[in-house]
Amino acid sequence: MVNLTAMSGFLLMGFSDERKLQILHALLFLVTYLLALTGNLLIITVITLDHRLHSPMYYFLKHLSLLDLCFISVTVPQSIANSLMGNGYISLVQCILQVFFFIALASSEVAILTVMSYDRYAAICQPLHYETTMDPSACRHAVIAVWIAGGLSGLMHAAINFSIPLCGKRVIQQFFCDVPQMLKLACSYESINEIALAAFTTSTAFICLISIVLSYIRIFSTVLRIPSAEGRTKVFSTCLPHLFVVTFFLSAAGFEFLRLPSDSSSTMDLVFSIFYTVIPPTLNPVIYSLRNDAMKAALRKMLSKEELPQRKMCLKAMFKL
C-alpha cells in the first residue's frame, strides 16, 4: 500500500482493488488502445497518401484523428501500467502534465469539431464561395488556432487547479487525474479563480455548441431542398457521422464536468469518464470510415495488392525525410 501521508503525488483508485479485475481491466484497455491507435493511424495515413482526399474536410479529419490519438494516449497507457503493477500512485508532476494535456486536447477536439461543422456548412450552403472561404491558408490558420486555443486552455486549468489548497488524503476516485474528482479534494470550492475558470470553460463550450447547432440547422434546411435523393444521401453520409461524434463527445463530457463534485458517485464518474475519454477516439475512425464512401474506397485502394508496394515506398520516403 502507498503511504498516503508521506506521498507528494496522488493515488488513483481505478476500477477495482481485486487483482483479477485489475488484470482484466488492463487487457480490455490494451485492446481498446490498440484499436484506437490502428484506426486513427490508418485514417492519417490514408488521407496523407491519397491525393483525392486532399480537401478541407479530410484535412480537418486528419487532425481530428491526430487529436484522438494523442487524447487516448494521455490516460489509457498510464491506467494500463497502474493496473498491471497493482499500484495506482501517480506523482505530482505526472498528474499536472496529465491534466494539462487532457484539457488541452479535449479543448482542441471541441474546437476542431466546431471548425468541421463550419466547413460542412460552407460546402453545402455556400458552394460558390467554398473554395475562397476554405482555401489552404484559411485551413492551416484554423488548425493552428485550434491547437493554440487548446494549449492555452490546458495551461490555465493546470495552473489554477493545482494552486488550490487540498485537504485530506490525496485519493482520486478515477483511473486518471480527472479535474472534477480533484476538486473534491479541495479545501473549499469558493475560489474566485476556480469559479472564473469554470465560467469561461462553460461559456466557450456553449459558444462552440451553439455554432455547431446553427451550422447543422442551416445544413439540414438546405439538404431537404435538394430534389435528388442520391444528392441528399451523399450529403448525409458526410454530415451524420460528424453530428454523431459531436453529440456523443459533448453530451458525455458536459454531463460529467457540469455536475457539482458533491453530487457525483465514483461508479457514475468512472462510467461517464470512459464515454468521453476512451470510446470517442476508438469509435471515430470506424464511424467516419463506414459512412464515407471516399474513405472506404481509399482504404481498399491502399490495402490492395497492387498499391501496397508503392505505398510502402512512399512511407519509407516519408520517414527518411
- Which residues are CB-contacts of 46 (< 8 A; sequence separation ≥ 6)? 53, 295, 298, 299, 302
Residue 111 has pLDDT above 90, yes or no: yes
For residue 139, the model assigns a pLDDT of: 94
Distance CA 213, CA 113 (A): 12
Mean of per-residue pLDDT scores for the chain: 81
Segment 26-36, tens digit of pLDDT: 999 999 999 99
Q: Can you give the residue ranges of every domain in the chain?
A: 9-316
CA-CA distance, 79 to 273, in Å (whole number)?
13
Q: Give tens-digit pLDDT for 212-268.
A: 889 888 888 888 887 777 767 777 776 777 777 777 777 777 666 666 555 455 677
Nearest residue to 250 (alpha-carbon basis) of 212, 302, 300, 297:
212
Mean pLDDT across the stretch 95-117? 93
Q: Output the CATH code of domain 9-316.
A: 1.20.1070.10
State the residue for C-alpha cell 482493488.
Answer: 17
Between the alpha carbon of residue 171 and those of residues 151, 182, 192, the distances in Å are 27, 9, 24
What is the strand order of the sheet 89-90 is part of? 89-90, 10-12, 171-172
73 vs 186 pLDDT, higher one: 73
> How many other C-beta atoms lie within 10 A of the C-beta of residue 139?
18
Residue bearing cell 480537418: 60
Q: Specify whether the CB–CB gap between 182 and 172 falls below 8 A.
A: yes
pLDDT of residue 74: 94
Q: 90-110 burial by CB neighbour count: b if 16+ within 10 A, else e?
A: beeeebbbbbbbbbbbbbbbb
Going by pLDDT thresholds of 50, 70 and 90, the confidence category of residue 6 is very low
pLDDT of residue 262: 52
Q: What is the mean pLDDT of residues 176-193?
A: 75
pLDDT category of residue 312 using cuts at 50, 70 and 90 = low
Range of weakest confidence among 76-80, 135-139, 140-144, 203-207: 203-207
pLDDT at residue 320, rounded to an integer: 52
pLDDT of residue 161: 84
Are the CB atoms for 43 and 285 separated by under 8 Å? Answer: yes
Radius of gyration of the chain (CA): 21
Q: How confident is the model at residue 280 (pLDDT cuts 50, 70, 90)?
A: confident
Give me the pLDDT at residue 261, please. Answer: 54
pLDDT number for residue 108? 94
Please compute the mean of the pLDDT values over residues 87-113 and round it to a whole number: 91
DSSP 176: S
Predicted confidence at residue 65, as pLDDT, reads 93
Which is more confident, 165 or 176?
176
Q: For residue 317, name the pLDDT band (cuts at 50, 70, 90).
A: low
230-244 pLDDT per residue, tens: 767 777 776 777 777
Distance CA(38)–CA(162), nearest Å, equals 34
- CA distances to 80, 111, 153, 220, 273 from 106, in Å: 21, 9, 9, 27, 12
C-alpha angle with apex 307: 305 to 310, nearest 5 degrees?
120
Q: Where are the alpha helices (DSSP H) in 126-227?
A: 130-133, 136-161, 179-183, 192-223
**pLDDT for res 263:** 47
280 contacts 249 by C-beta, under 8 angstroms = yes
Question: What confidence score (pLDDT) does residue 321 get?
Answer: 46
- How many C-beta atoms surround the C-beta of residue 247 within 10 A? 12
CA-to-CA distance for 28 and 17, rounded, in angstroms? 16
